Amino acid sequence: MSLVSRISLKELAHKIGADLEGDPNKEVLGLNTLDSASTNEVSFIARKSFLSFLPSSKAGALICSNDLSEGYSGNKLIGEDPYLLYAKCTKVFKELTNKNLNLGISELAHIGNNVSISKKSSVANFVHISDGAILEDDVFIGPGVVVGENSVIGRGSKIYPNVTIYDSVEIGANCIIHSGTVIGSDGLGFAKHKGEWLKIEHLGKVIIGDNVEIGSNTSIDRGSVGDTLVEDNVKIDNLVHLAHNVKIGSGTAIAANSAVAGSSSIGKNCTLAGCCAVVDNIEVADEVHITAKSLITKSIREKGVYSSGTPFMKNDDWRKNAVSFKKLHKLITNK
């Protein structure tokens, strides 16, 4: 990895809150793995299983804890939680690459009527900003983004290429929304009459808090009546679907290919692993952790770890167990 901007280890240690052992004037320009890092890059170690890579690593500096740094003679950035230091370090280098991101408003962008765009924000080529939209300070809008009428994008948020933000969507400060995501589309709402589906118009909003990150190709539906709400510091992976009127509590993280059906509520500081599904109109308490490929069909009232489904096995064994499962009720009740 190569970055144009460099930073001294002294400054880097200060920014990430690490203790520095080594040359404070040494300059580095990026991050890399232990086995691939050059003398101008920083690497990190958080597990003893990677100790064997240390003798051959050419890294210009190593993020580590005290116990993992023993025997390493190079420059070290030391802290109790090296993985946290690594996360902070990625932010520093990301900011270095984006420090000249302010490109102004492209002549190839369409800007509607009564739009408010901060002079500190950037709007790239082929962006469509609809009437009444507001872009606060330091917002970045990538190529091909559509921002609907009366939508608001908060300070410091970054909207990457080809994101679609429908009308009346509110996005907080310092959010990141990755390419291909759609926010504010209608959910699945229909009433059946004489064999025909009658569409229920969705009149609510999507409201997204501060410091939210949303992965690529995710879809968040607007509320039908009332709003869909994603609170502060929520992290959503790629290919996630949140249906109409869903509420996601602050600090919750949702991994890829998961879906939450309409009007369900997920509490604060929860995690949903990959490929989880939550049915409609249920509530999940705070600090609930749901393991991969689980299906949640009832409300969860107490914090803890929850799972469903069966572990993988050889197909022949699975077929035999599936037959037994079908007979389970008869075996228990003798009926």
The alpha carbon of residue 111 and the mean position of all alpha carbons in its chain are separated, in whole angstroms, by: 28
In this structure, are strands 219-221 and 241-242 parallel, antiparallel, or unpaired? Answer: parallel
Q: How many CB atoms lie within 10 A of CB 325?
A: 10
Would you say residue 1 has pLDDT above 50? no
Pairwise CA distance, residues 247 & 37, whole Å: 42
Kindly provide the b/e burial profile for residues 129-166, where b requires at least 16 CB atoms within 10 angstroms of the residue's own CB: bbebbbbbebbbbbbbbbbbbbbbbbbbbbbbbbbbbb
Task: Provide, rounded to the nearest whole percent, the portion of the chain with pLDDT above 70.
Answer: 97
Helix, strand or coil, per DSSP, at residue 187: coil
The alpha carbon of residue 200 and the mean position of all alpha carbons in its chain are separated, in whole angstroms, by: 30
Q: Which sequence spans correspond to the domains of the chain?
A: 7-98, 110-306
Helix, strand or coil, per DSSP, at residue 90: helix
Amino acid at 48: K
Cite the active site residues: 244
pLDDT digits (tens, 9 = 90+) for 155-190: 999 999 999 999 999 999 999 999 999 999 999 999
Distances (CA, A) of 110 to 136, 157, 275: 17, 20, 38
Average pLDDT over residues 76-104: 84
Q: Are 82 and 64 in contact (CB under 8 A)?
A: yes
Would you say residue 3 has pLDDT above 80? no
- Compute the mean pLDDT over every residue in the chain, rounded to the nearest whole number: 92
110-306: CATH, from 2.160.10.10, 3.40.1230.10, 3.40.50.300, 1.10.10.10: 2.160.10.10
Amino acid at 32: N
Of 43, 46, 35, the C-alpha closest to 84 is 46
pLDDT of residue 99: 61
Would you say residue 204 has pLDDT above 70? yes
Would you say residue 2 has pLDDT above 50? no
What is the longest distance spanned by two Cα atoms in the chain?
A: 79
Average pLDDT over residues 229-253: 98
**Which range, of 95-99, 145-149, 294-298, 319-323, averages the lowest pLDDT?**
95-99
Q: Are 19 and 85 in contact (CB under 8 A)?
A: no
Q: Are 118 and 102 in contact (CB under 8 A)?
A: no
7-98: CATH, from 3.40.1390.10, 3.40.50.10470, 3.10.105.10, 2.30.30.30: 3.40.1390.10
Burial of 193 (0-12, 13-18, 19+ CB in 10 A): exposed
Written as six digits, the tokens of 54 are: 């240390």
Pairwise CA distance, residues 62 & 136, whole Å: 38
Would you say residue 101 has pLDDT above 80? no
**Which range, of 89-93, 109-113, 312-316, 322-326, averages the lowest pLDDT?**
322-326
pLDDT digits (tens, 9 = 90+) for 261-309: 999 999 999 999 999 999 999 999 999 999 999 999 999 999 999 999 8
Q: How confident is the model at residue 54 (pLDDT cuts 50, 70, 90)?
A: confident
Kindly provide the b/e burial profile for residues 212-236, where b requires at least 16 CB atoms within 10 angstroms of the residue's own CB: bbbbbbbbbbbbbeebbbbbbbbbb
pLDDT of residue 66: 85
